Amino acid sequence: MLKRGIVAVFLLLPLVPGAVRAQSSVPASFYLTGWNMVGAPPGTDFSSAAALFTYQNGAYVTSSSRTTALCGGYWAYFNANTLVPLATPPTAASMTCPLQAGWTMVGNPFDAPATVPAGTTAWYWNPAIGQYQTVSQIPQGGSVWIYSTSGGSVTLAAVPSPPAAQTLIINTQSPLSSYQTHVGMQVEVLVAPTVPSTVAVDSNYLQFTGSGITGDITCVNGTASCAPGTYYSYWMYTAARAGTTLITVNPLCLQATPPCGVPSRAIQLIILP
């Protein structure tokens, strides 16, 4: 594991989604309050971030643009949990990204997780646990550190989306408290805007693959003509192992001062082989 002293230099710096009208599922990435390693299809708007930095020639630089560049990796600071709609990704199934000599922040250019070549060590700052992790895939909307002694390139491959028939959809407004699926199946968790919430899972059982908005995403901006229920936020996971686990839905207002009285909700998921 990388020592904290080695990576401390990276921590010195340690949504309003665009007004786009769409009555369909729009890929988006969810970011926690604080610092996040971000990267997205070129042209994705990060104006909702309070700060956006790139890493060039061994130093952090304020990004000259709030829209992402192809393969660009950034540190973004958010004042609140934020959902950012993603721009249209490249149509190619793989993308070759340049590496500078030393450390490079490589951003995911797709709207799905991106696989890192075997033998390449990629470090991702996981804000949910407050530490770096080595990963074989760059999360949707994320970026990673990759070290190269002399520069070069790295080729990322988009993880294909599964067929809709292999997806279990869980609407958190449903009174059901238990669901069942199989290893390898996708699980989509829907959260209504009436009670904005975050979703927490055990990554040993459910591996995060993406998030987004389905419905009229102009309503995320609070447009007067929009009514609650015209869109949902969604989180996508892959069932990774058999067993029983919990999906916890935590209302954002629990983080307010004082917190609200809306309780968190636990949904049981039984994963069969």
Between 231 and 206, the higher pLDDT residue: 206
* CA-only gyration radius of the chain, Å: 19
Between 144 and 258, the higher pLDDT residue: 144
In this structure, is the dihedral angle defined by the CA atoms of residues 189, 190, 195 and 197, taken in order, positive or negative? positive
DSSP 76: E
- What is the rounded distance in angstroms from the CA atom of residue 27 to the CA atom of residue 233? 10
Q: What percent of the chain has pLDDT over 90?
A: 42
**Domain spans of the chain, in order of start:** 9-158, 164-272
- What is the rounded distance in angstroms from the CA atom of residue 205 to the CA atom of residue 179? 14
Residue 110 has pLDDT above 90, yes or no: yes
Q: Which helix (H) or strand (E) holds 7?
A: helix 4-7
Residue 157 has pLDDT above 60, yes or no: yes
Residue 269 has pLDDT above 70, yes or no: yes
DSSP result, 16-65? -------EEEEEEEEE-SEEEEE--STT-B-TTSSEEEEEETTEEEE-S-
CATH topology of domain 164-272: Immunoglobulin-like (2.60.40)
Between 94 and 162, the higher pLDDT residue: 94
What is the per-residue pLDDT for 175?
Answer: 81
**210-226 pLDDT per residue, tens:** 777 776 555 555 555 56
DSSP result, 138-198? EPTTBEEEEEESS-EEEEEEEPPPPPGGGEEEEETTSS--EEEEETT-EEEEEE-TTS-EE
**171-191 pLDDT per residue, tens:** 888 888 889 999 989 898 988
- What is the rounded distance in angstroms from the CA atom of residue 56 to the CA atom of residue 54? 6
Between 50 and 254, the higher pLDDT residue: 50
